[in-house]
Amino acid sequence: MAFQDSSAAAGETPRRLYVYNGGFLTQKRIRRILTLSGYDISLGKPSPDDLIGVWGQSPTSWRGEAVADRTCAPVLRVEDAFLRSVHPGRDGEPPLGLHLDSRGVHFDPSKPSDLEVILREDPLDDTALLNRARNCMETIKRDHLSKYNTHDPNSPAPDAGYVLVIDQTAGDASVTASRADRNTFLEMLFVAREEHPAARILIKTHPETVQGHRDGHFRDSDLSANIEFLSDAVSPHHLLEGAIGVYTVSSQFGFEAILAGHKPVVFGQPFYIGWGLSDDRMPLDRRQRTLTRVQLFAGAMILYPRWYDPYRDALCELETALQTLAAHTRAWRDDGDGWVASGMRLWKRAPLQKMFGQHNQLMFEDDPEKADALAAKTARGRMVWAGKADGHDSALRVEDGFLRSRGLGADLIAPLSLVLDDLGIYYDPTAPSQLEELINASTTLPDTACQRTETLIKKIVGFGLSKYNLSADDLPADLPKGRRILVPGQVEDDASIRLGTTDVSTNRDLLAATRAANPAAIIFYKPHPDVEAGLRDGHVADAEKFADVILNKTSPIAAMDAVDAVWTMTSTLGFEALLRGKDVTCLGSPFYCGWGLTDDRAMPISRRTSRPTLAQLAHAVLIDYPRYFDPVSHLPCPVEVVVERLESGTVPRPTRRNRLLAKLQGAFASYAHLWR
């Protein structure tokens, strides 16, 4: 039995929801989720057929409760979902989802909530639902997600073998609802010490206490020789891995402990007690059902909440919400301390601010010594455009991603994806890169990650997307029949050519080598768009000597669809050909060679030891490595959003002004300081 949904069904008139808390009116995200859920937020006096909205058991909830008593209108209690945001709500960040409960509130054991009814009465035996739950649990663990997400997965956890005692904020409604107070927390600490007399005890401080918003229940005077506070930004998932016991009153951390395989000791009566998964020191008699961890998760995280998609302005499934939260969390983890950026051309600075400066504005300084000093003074990280990295030894490299835009960088079109590499850069095979590490590790990806990638590949191929997504002509008619090979031209002074090729390093050499190895094949040569536009070097005057067809201003997707194989030096088009199931031969050393998926004619790279599937390789290349920016919502986003924007055309496009500035930039290349 699922919970009673009191919202209007699709196509029905929204149900009026009368509110007496200003937050319902001023917080746009909350209003929007309620509207999408079928509620019309109203002011005034309700009738018995209307609803009254209150925020959980907040200090203002009595207003709505009093009106409900006088009018007999039912109450809808609204609360944040269990995966809320990067920062606590007191920092002003909107929630990713809400609980809309027509019976009570999940943390108040005085009467059953909609969540309790789900956990008590829903069969929770649907195979598809439980598989979704398992996959989402894996995703949450892999991405180190929690209710709040200002923790750093790279921060070292304490040495394993400790006991976690979870503090909560003073005045927390879930603590009050469990009839707990500071004495309850002191009792919990005493019991933890009695039951683990030799263990180190860590009191986990609440994020709002760390950030100075509200006090906790424990004080310095409560510490002793083997008891200490833990306020470092350590991932909850790492903390739970090293814990031998978890003690809580009513914190959501107890729920996360259950999902991690613990049986937490619980001194209050939160929603997750009474199902056989916790050691309940204050049992609730009406909860007698035994659930699995997966069933508990399915009820609490899939069936109960309303999740919101800020990119599509719609309610969504948990899986989409996880992708959103992961994108926002990654941006915070990368950018929270701010950056000093070097080697960034003037026109790139605004797009870089949008991508990397939402938490702290970027500071620009090209001189390596000055940039290092500024970073040290302001406690910021260092980044540099990969092609301008000489002398910036301490800086992370920045470069365009693989689903860049609808238009060329040389036309000054802002990128929708960028990579940030702390080891090297993907196009330089002479040194390790973060992408190499991700690909090497990709063979351990869970099935759910590979399934996501397979769906992504189908969309990219189905939508006909590539790196630049330029408007181009279809293939000419009456093309020769036979085994067809596509040879993509490249910009010959490109860094991937300089660093990733040896014997074959020009478009003419590539054509000659392809023809020599395939004398009977039909060779299609497609010049690079930047070369066709007259913006970069790489023209082959006698291409007809080697190629049967020259595909000028032709769609690369149409060209790939028409051929059997691709021969390339280091072009990203080779990776795109792999996504489309084509045979790819590499005469240079691009990022996608050396993994057993291509025919490699250059010297092997010994660091590339894994043998990933195409889905595993693509997950590293398209999901784990780049960052993405949504040009509509102006938020960090998952790759799927950029794919949809590129397909629909709701992205920046080249203009005549872009083209004029690009040509002027090429003409005055020797005066580069004007553009930086």
DSSP annotation of 175: H
Task: Dig out the tokens for 464 from the structure.
Answer: 């006909």
The DSSP H or E segment spanning 280 is strand 279-280
**What would the pLDDT profile of 8-22 be if each residue is shown by its tens digit?**
545 578 999 999 998
Any idea which residue has 């259950």 for tokens?
258
Above 90 in pLDDT, residue 549? yes
- The whole-number pLDDT of residue 207 equals 87
| Structural domain boundaries in the chain | 1-143+290-317, 146-270, 318-427, 440-648
Stretch among 125-129, 412-416, 474-478, 617-621 having the lowest mean pLDDT: 474-478
Higher-scoring residue by pLDDT: 434, 537? 434
Any idea which residue has 């023209």 for tokens?
539
Q: Report the mean per-residue pLDDT for the chain.
A: 92
Task: Dig out the tokens for 528 from the structure.
Answer: 């690079």
**What would the pLDDT profile of 623-645 be if each residue is shown by its tens digit?**
999 999 999 999 999 999 999 99
Interatomic CA distance for residues 56 and 106, integer angstroms = 9
- The whole-number pLDDT of residue 653 equals 63
Interatomic CA distance for residues 102 and 3, integer angstroms = 9
Per residue, the 3-state secondary structure of 423-454, as one string, reads: CCCCCCCCCCCHHHHHHHHHHHCCHHHHHHHH
Q: Sign of dihedral through CA atoms 433, 439, 442, 448? A: positive
In the chain, what are the helix, strand and coil shares in percent, each to the nearest 5? 40, 15, 45
pTM: 0.92
How many C-beta neighbours within 10 Å does residue 480 have? 11
**What would the pLDDT profile of 121-159 be if each residue is shown by its tens digit?**
999 999 999 999 999 999 999 999 999 999 999 999 999
Interatomic CA distance for residues 58 and 66, integer angstroms = 14
Above 80 in pLDDT, residue 552? yes
Task: Dig out the tokens for 70 from the structure.
Answer: 């006088």
- The whole-number pLDDT of residue 11 equals 56
- Give CATH for domain 146-270: 3.40.50.2000
Q: Sign of dihedral through CA atoms 151, 157, 161, 167? A: negative
The DSSP H or E segment spanning 36 is helix 28-36
Above 90 in pLDDT, residue 349? yes
Please name the residue ranges forming H helices in 110-170. 114-121, 127-142
